A and B are shown apart, each in its own frame.
Chain A
Amino acid sequence: MIWPHRSQPLWYAFVLHRVSGVALALFLPVHFYVLSFALRQPERLDGFLRWTDLGIVKAAEFGLVFLLGVHMFGGLRLMALEWLPWSPRQKTFAASAAAAAFLISVTFFLNAA
Chain B
Amino acid sequence: MPTDSSFLDVDVWRSGAESFQNFQVPARDSQTVLDVVTWIQQHADPTLSYRFACRVGMCGSCAMMVNGKPRWTCRTHVKKVAKRGRIEIAPLRNLQVIKDLATDMSDFFDKWVAAEGVFHPTKTREDEIEAIRPDTPERISADAAVECINCGVCYAACDVVAANPAYLGPAALNRAWSLVNDLRDGALAERLEAVSHDGGCHNCHSHQSCAAYCPNSLNPTASIAGLKRETVKAAFRRGR
Contact = CB atoms under 8 A, between A and B. Distances in A.
Interface of A: 3-6, 8, 10-11, 13-14, 78, 81-83, 86, 88, 90
Interface of B: 65, 67-70, 93, 156-157, 159, 205-209, 212-213, 219, 221-222, 225-226, 228-229
A83 B209 contact: no
Contact of A86 (B65, B156, B222): B222
Main secondary structure of the interface of A (DSSP, over half): helix
Given A5-B69, A5-B70, A82-B229, A14 B212 contact: no
A14 B206 contact: yes
A87 to B, nearest CB: 9
Contact of B207 (A3, A4, A10, A88): A10
A90 B208 contact: yes
B69 A11 contact: no
A88 B211 CA distance: 11
A100 B60 CA distance: 41
B226 A86 contact: yes
A5 B68 contact: yes
B93 A8 contact: no
A32 to B, nearest CB: 29
Contacts of B209: 5-6, 8, 10-11
A83 B159 contact: no
B212 A10 contact: yes
A4 B225 contact: no
B208 A4 contact: no
Contacts of A82: 206, 225, 228-229
Nearest to A11: B207
Given A78-B206, A90-B208, A83 B229 contact: yes
